[in-house]
Each structure stands twice: as structure tokens, then as C-alpha cells.
Chains A and B, each alone.
Chain A
Amino acid sequence: MRKNYSACMKQTALNTLHKELGGKMVEFAGYEMPVQYTEGIKSEHLWVRSHAGLFDVSHMGQAMLEGEGAIELLEKITPSPFSKTPLNKAKYTVLLNSNGGIIDDLIITKLADDKFFLVYNAGCKEKDEKFIQDNLPASLTFTPLRERSLIAIQGSKAEAILSPASTSPLVGGTEGGQEYMTIKFAGDVFISRLGYTGEDGFEISIPSEKAAEYCKELLKNPDLKPIGLGARDSLRLEMGYPLYGHDIDDNTTPLEANLQWVVAKDKRENFPTPQKMRVGIEIMDKAIAREGTKIFALDGSEIGVITSGGYSPTLEKPIAQGYVKTSFAEAGTEVEVELRGRKIKAKTHKLNFIEPRTKK
């Protein structure tokens, strides 16, 4: 069992705070991050579903894209339309390679027709930034924001915690119901109303030197607890959201990944008809079917593989997602998974196992 982690790992601005809060630190995408705090993954998960959690997602990439032709570039490197997107609207989409494979999934917020804010995965930072730079016309600038941290506040109590009525002196003056808004704190903090848990919530981009102080203030609210990457993973798995490098990668198209909704309607025909499809998998057993577990038809033929699997604290049973041949993708199809030599009954399921409670 590992006890010590390499000293060469990168740290976020909240590293000291994580340790003060009892975070169990692990390596993730080159960063030393808390997988859980003292209460453990199950209770942290359930706390987010019933109250609200604070997540450090500062390891993710943040960047600003500015200049003439920003929309044209984004419509070239992603399959999504941006010209009619309302201002301050955040959009989930994917960067695509020339084969239609997913380079990364990311959030792009339109601040103006010539200004967009991008948030992308920690493990893809280098290749995303190179890909965008390589495609960048001279009229545009692409600026990674290295000195900013990113804090997610997720859960039904998130709005109350961040509202102007909150006792926290650091929060206040949110303007309107925009998905992207500037709050008065330091004049340089922006909030997007989104997240990756299925709960209502916010992501707050904040200058790193202010991040720890800000989180400490927020955590004075007893409804808010710090949540580690373990619960972040089980929360997104219950919602059927993909984890890059596991559920989607350079070789999967958005159609195979069941993300056709990010693809502009007139671009869907550009992709080959999917032979496989990402679906939820309901496991009819107590054993966990994890990444790499093979999926079989009832006649014994192999039809796919699980790409993420774990325990659902909300449903108190194992759940998974993975790819199956398209003809098996319809929800409720009976299949089997093989675990340690044992065949276990399973069923395909829609991607989400619980209904989202996000607000727009």
C-alpha cells in the first residue's frame, strides 16, 4: 500500500487547506489532490446530494480566447454552434481531431462575440493548448490563466451559501440570473452556474492568491463541506457524465459517446454511423464492475466493455457506464458482465441513474 507520494507533484493554491481539513492526498493528473477528507467518500457524496460541497478543481485548465474570428475558430475545433449562443451562456462541448475523435471535453462560456472563457481537463491541458495554438489565426489570442484557481460549490444549498444574504462577507452582489456573472468580491471573480455533479451549483474562478481565504470563509457555513475527488467521481457516474481518458478519448466520436446533443444538427452527418454506443450499465449484484470489465450478450458473445464503474451511494448499489454494440444500446437490454471469472447479470440503462437537479 502506498504511503508517500512523489514530491514532484504539482499543488493547487488550496493544498495547505486540504491538508488542514484532513484531506487524504493522492496523485491525480500530476497534481496532489484530496481523494477524500475525514468522513469518507460515501458520506461526502450523500452530503452533496442533501446539502452542498466545496470542490477544488483548480487543477483544470482555464483560458481566455479573444479576438476577431473567435466564433469561427470554435465552430471549427468543436462540433457545436456558437454564433447564436447568448452572452454569458456556458456550453459543454468537445474538441475534435481530424478523425472526429474527442481530444477533450470542456466548458466554453461566451463573454462576448469575440471573447470566450474555456475550462478543460487537467490531464489534457498540454495537448488542448497546443491544439488550439496550432489552429489559432493571427487575429486571435489564446491565453491560459495560470494564476487562477477554480472552486466548485455543488448541491441544493449552493445558491443559499453563495447568495448575497449569506453571512459570508466575501460573497455578495451577484447580478441577475446569468449563468456567468461577476461578483463584487475583488472585482475579479467570476461564477458560472454549472458543475459536474447533477446538482445545482457554481464554479468560481478566482485569483489563486485569494482562493484559500475565500474557501475558508465559505466553509464557515455549516451546510458546506469540502469534498474530494472520490465523491466527485461517484457523483458524476450517477449522472452518466463521461470522464475523459476513461469513458471518452481520441478514438471515440461524440455520437459513439452518446453526446450527439453537443453536435450541431447539420454536422451530425459528418460522423460515421456509430457501431458502439456509450450507455449506463445496471449491475444486478453487489460486486463492483470497474473499468475494463467485459460485457457479453446472453448468448455469450462479447459486445462491449465497461469504462467506468463504481458504487452509487445514493442507490446503494453498483453502477457503471461503458460501450456496447449499438444493437444492445436500448435501455433495459439484458446483458452479462464478467467479474473474476464469474458471469453477472446486468442491464443497459440510460446514462444517468438519477435525475439532474441542475438549474438554468
Chain B
Amino acid sequence: MTNIAENLKYTKDHEWVKKDGDVATIGITDFAQNSLGDLVYVELPQIGRKVEKGEEFVVVESCKAASDVYAPLSGEVVEVNTALADSPESVNSEPYDSGWLVKLRPANSDDAEALMSAEEYKNHISE
């Protein structure tokens, strides 16, 4: 069964966002990791990079293919999950926890509110 964490915000492209003060943590959903299969490499952005919403800013590579992850919010990259260099499989095993990808400082603090709720995302992937 696909796991959807209740307290997060979601995009139609299967990213999740967790707001914590002025920083947003971003990852890919359980549905996404399950579709991709075993992850073997994650290419993360430079700290300090400014990204626009919808911009490709992370590449996740599975045994099957390389896939772009799109920035769900505009903002500045303040931290990346360096542990994924040695254990990209964390994205498979704990997509909402140790498998997070990037922390952004959002350009507009309200942007995250416009994303889908867990309920809306659940409906989106069952369509």
C-alpha cells in the first residue's frame, strides 16, 4: 500500500513539502519511490542555488531510469541530504524521513499552503 504522510503538502509530480519555520524540507513520495524502484544515485543541487518553482533541481536515478525532481516552491537551497551519497536507498525505505532530499528557504512563505493536502494527493494518485 502507498504510504501518504498526513502532515505534509504534496505536488502532482509526487514531491512532498514539510514547512518548519522559514525552511521547507522536500522529498519524493512513497508512490514515487515505489514507481522508480531501487534508487542508486541522487544528484543534489549546490547550497545557495536559487530555484524557481517547477525547475528541475534534483535527479534521482534508479536501476531503471534517471528522473528529474521539480522544485515544488521557489527559494534558496540551504541544505542537502549528503547522507544519500552513500545510501540512496534511504529514499526507498524512508521517503518521508531519512530519505529527504533538499531544504529550501522559500521565497514566498505562503506558497506551500497552495500545494495539495494528503487527502487531495491521495485522490490524485488514485485517478
Structural contact, A286 and B14, CB atoms closer than 8 A: no
A-binding segment of B18-26, B37-45, B101-109, B115-123: B37-45
Structural contact, B63 and A311, CB atoms closer than 8 A: yes
Report Cα–Cα, A317/B63, bound state, in Å: 11
Quote the shortest CB–CB distance from B27 to chain A (angstroms). Answer: 16
Chain A residues lying within 8 Å of B32, measured Cβ to Cβ, are 1
Report Cα–Cα, A41/B65, bound state, in Å: 12
Interface of A is mostly: mixed
Quote the shortest CB–CB distance from A222 to chain B (angstroms). Answer: 23
Report Cα–Cα, A311/B88, bound state, in Å: 13
Interface of B is mostly: mixed
Closest to A2 in B: B35
B80 interface hit (Cβ, 8 Å): no
A287-B61, A288-B66 known; A42-B38 Cβ under 8 A: yes
B4 interface hit (Cβ, 8 Å): no
Closest to B56 in A: A340
Number of A-B contacts (CB under 8 A): 46
Structural contact, A234 and B66, CB atoms closer than 8 A: no
Structural contact, A311 and B37, CB atoms closer than 8 A: no
Q: How many chain-A residues does the 8 Å CB contact rule pick out?
A: 18
Structural contact, A340 and B37, CB atoms closer than 8 A: no
Q: Mark B40-58, 1 if CB is under 8 A from A, else 0.
A: 1101000000000000000
Chain A residues lying within 8 Å of B63, measured Cβ to Cβ, are 40-42, 230, 234, 310-311, 313
A321 interface hit (Cβ, 8 Å): no
Chain A residues lying within 8 Å of B35, measured Cβ to Cβ, are 1
A234-B63, A310-B63 known; A40-B41 Cβ under 8 A: no
Q: How many chain-B residues does the 8 Å CB contact rule pick out?
A: 18
A40-B38, A340-B43, A340-B59 known; A230-B64 Cβ under 8 A: yes
Closest to A40 in B: B38
In B58-74, the 8 Å CB interface with A consists of 59, 61-66
Report Cα–Cα, A234/B63, bound state, in Å: 8
Structural contact, B41 and A311, CB atoms closer than 8 A: yes
B83 interface hit (Cβ, 8 Å): no
Report Cα–Cα, A311/B42, bound state, in Å: 13
Quote the shortest CB–CB distance from B127 to chain A (angstroms). Answer: 9
Quote the shortest CB–CB distance from A181 to chain B (angstroms). Answer: 34
Chain B residues lying within 8 Å of A35, measured Cβ to Cβ, are 37, 64
Report Cα–Cα, A1/B62, bound state, in Å: 14
Report Cα–Cα, A286/B43, bound state, in Å: 9
Quote the shortest CB–CB distance from B41 to chain A (angstroms). Answer: 5
A290 interface hit (Cβ, 8 Å): yes
Structural contact, B41 and A288, CB atoms closer than 8 A: yes
Q: Mark A5-40, 1 if CB is under 8 A from B, else 0.
A: 000000000000000000010000000000110001
Quote the shortest CB–CB distance from B55 to chain A (angstroms). Answer: 14
Chain B residues lying within 8 Å of A230, measured Cβ to Cβ, are 37, 63-64
Q: Which of A41, A286, A287, A288 contacts B37 (CB 8 A)?
A: A41
Report Cα–Cα, A230/B31, bound state, in Å: 19
Query: Beyond A1-B32, A234-B63, A310-B63: 4 further Cβ-contacts under 8 Å?
Result: A24-B37, A40-B63, A41-B63, A286-B41
Residues of B within 8 A of A (CB): 14, 31-32, 35, 37-38, 40-41, 43, 59, 61-66, 85, 92
9 pairs of residues in contact across A and B, judged by CB atoms under 8 Å? A1-B35, A40-B37, A41-B62, A42-B63, A230-B63, A286-B40, A288-B61, A311-B63, A318-B40
